[in-house]
Amino acid sequence: MGTPAGTLTEIRELKAEISGLRTDLQRFVERANQQHVDAVLGGIRKEYAGAFADQQIGSAKADLSLRMVEDCPMKTTCYGAFTEFLENSARHIAEGTVSEELIQSYREKMAALRKKGRKEECSTCFTELGRLFENQVGLMQTLGIYRKKNETDTDFSGVPDDAVVRDLLEPVASPPRFQILKALSTGTRT
């Protein structure tokens, strides 16, 4: 004797429902884990941002002392202006969020400072200032408090639907490919 067709249909529906619940539960756990990791990283950023900024300034002052033109009569004045510039920009590390506009305003301030330096030797010192500032920007990116606009703002509104499906969705449509992408999203893998 066989199982009635209605019972088989109900069993299939129950299996599909259980599978869907498992998927939902797995997504919930993954989101909860990510939220926990984000909260922990946020706490670490808050707690140690001042130390990162202080270390950055200390390192920048030492590098400026070593790499600025030694026999320049303006060295002391420029050193003071450069350290003030770097201290002001480093304080944003502790604030938690840095915008593209803020970074651009510092680059403009650096260009304005550069216009004041008219000697040929000034390029050595301003190159060092630029390098140290970009190090700060790199630290801000590493800490996740600064992201360039092109890193976060992706607009797909002008992309045709068929191109999105063909170029983005179909390549990851199989479960193994999608699992590979999920694994890679948490870090590099061999």
Q: Which residues contact 172 (CB under 8 A, 6 or more apart)?
A: 178, 181
Residue 5 has pLDDT above 70, yes or no: yes
Alpha helices in the chain (DSSP H): 5-67, 75-90, 100-116, 122-142, 149-152, 161-164, 175-185
pLDDT (0 to 100) of residue 34? 85
pLDDT (0 to 100) of residue 118? 67
Side chain identity at residue 72, one-letter code: C
Question: Which helix or strand (DSSP H or E) is residue 4 part of?
Answer: none
Q: What is the CA radius of gyration of the chain?
A: 27
Contact 83, 61 (CB under 8 A): yes
For the stretch 49-62, pLDDT in tens is: 778 788 888 998 99
Residue 152 has pLDDT above 50, yes or no: no
Quickly state the pLDDT bin for 45 (edges 50, 70, 90): low
Token couple for 8: 């088989």
Q: How far apart are CA 98 and CA 24, in angstroms?
A: 35
pLDDT (0 to 100) of residue 56? 84
Residue 80 has pLDDT above 80, yes or no: yes
